[in-house]
A and B are shown apart, each in its own frame.
Chain A
Amino acid sequence: MEWIITAFLSLWLIVSTLGTIFMKNPVHVILSFLSAILAMAGVFLQMGAELLAGLQLIIYAVAIVVFYVLIITVIPWEKVKRFEGIYKQELLWGIPFFMIAFGVMSYMTLKGKFAEPLNVLSGNNVKDVGKNLFTSYLFPFEVASVILLIAMIGAILLGRKEE
């Protein structure tokens, strides 16, 4: 049963990833990306990371995708249409690189030894992640808010109209 869900989700994920890379129209690219994100949330649910699946849906599938669509509506459509599609020559060079890198890294993953399991979980994913986040990783959590503030200021500065 687990492998049936895995096969379904991974097929969905692979198809939408290929669509994201190779589709011509930018709007279709963003829709494929949204589909890939939904498949990824399903994968997180299957892996037992419920909190991350919910955050994936809230942050990626709502905030970021809406932001992309907003930008596409701001930019005039003829200028977006002028540069769509892919570079053929780079694709010709990129495919062998992709194959070699994927083969080597998959071989290392399959043959390598992994660390031993710790098994300290209580079974409640949200509780475990929250406890770890607000005790061991409290300072990086605070720094993340500063990063978001600086990104907001930068976006406002970059996006304002020149006089």
Chain B
Amino acid sequence: MSVEKFYLILSIFLFLSGFLGILIRKNLITILVSTELMLNGINLAFVSIDRMLGSTEGQVFALFVLTVAAAEVAVGLGIIIAIFRLRGYEGSSETVHLRD
């Protein structure tokens, strides 16, 4: 087993851990942090496959993933603040209405 395959398996672990975090966390902020973990796992998979194939396309796409992560954090935290202002802060299980 090469280092690249090991890192691929590690990236699968990271992605699934982020997914587990989204399922089980109560706090909305920590749920967003778990999505960041998932994006990091994807980046790791891109970079290790890049090393395996000897190309740079994966790193370019990892750059775009970084951009989308920044945008997602800005909008997601804006939504969290809006939820918090609207009804007081709620746990993830009680935020079930889209409006009111």
Contact = CB atoms under 8 A, between A and B. Distances in A.
Interface of A: 2-3, 6, 10, 13-14, 17-18, 20-21, 26, 29-30, 33, 36-37, 40, 43-44, 46-49, 51-52, 55-56, 59-60, 63-64, 67-68, 71-72, 74-76, 79-80, 82-87, 90-91, 93-95, 97-98, 101-102, 105-106, 109-110, 114-121, 125, 128-129, 132-133, 136-137, 140, 144, 147-148, 150-152, 154-159, 161-162
Contact of A79 (B3, B13, B17, B89): B89
A80 B25 CA distance: 13
Closest 5 CB pairs of A and B: A158-B78, A151-B71, A83-B91, A79-B89, A155-B74
Contacts of A154: 74-75, 78
Nearest to A131: B56
A84 B56 contact: no
B37 A121 contact: no
Contacts of B23: 87, 90, 93-94
B77 to A, nearest CB: 5
Q: Chain B binding site: helix, strand, loop or mixed by DSSP?
A: helix
Contacts of A162: 85
Given A36-B40, A52-B59, A75 B81 contact: yes
Interface residues of B, number: 73
Q: Chain A binding site: helix, strand, loop or mixed by DSSP?
A: helix
A68 B82 contact: no
A84 to B, nearest CB: 6
A158 B72 CA distance: 13
B5 to A, nearest CB: 6
Contacts of A119: 54
Contacts of A118: 53-55
Interface string B1-36: 101111111101110110111011111111011101
Contacts of A72: 29
A47 B27 contact: no
Contact of B37 (A17, A51, A63, A102): A17
Given A21-B25, A64-B70, A158-B82, 10 more contacts: A3-B3, A10-B10, A64-B36, A90-B23, A90-B24, A94-B24, A117-B52, A129-B60, A129-B63, A158-B81
Contact of B79 (A2, A67, A75, A158): A158
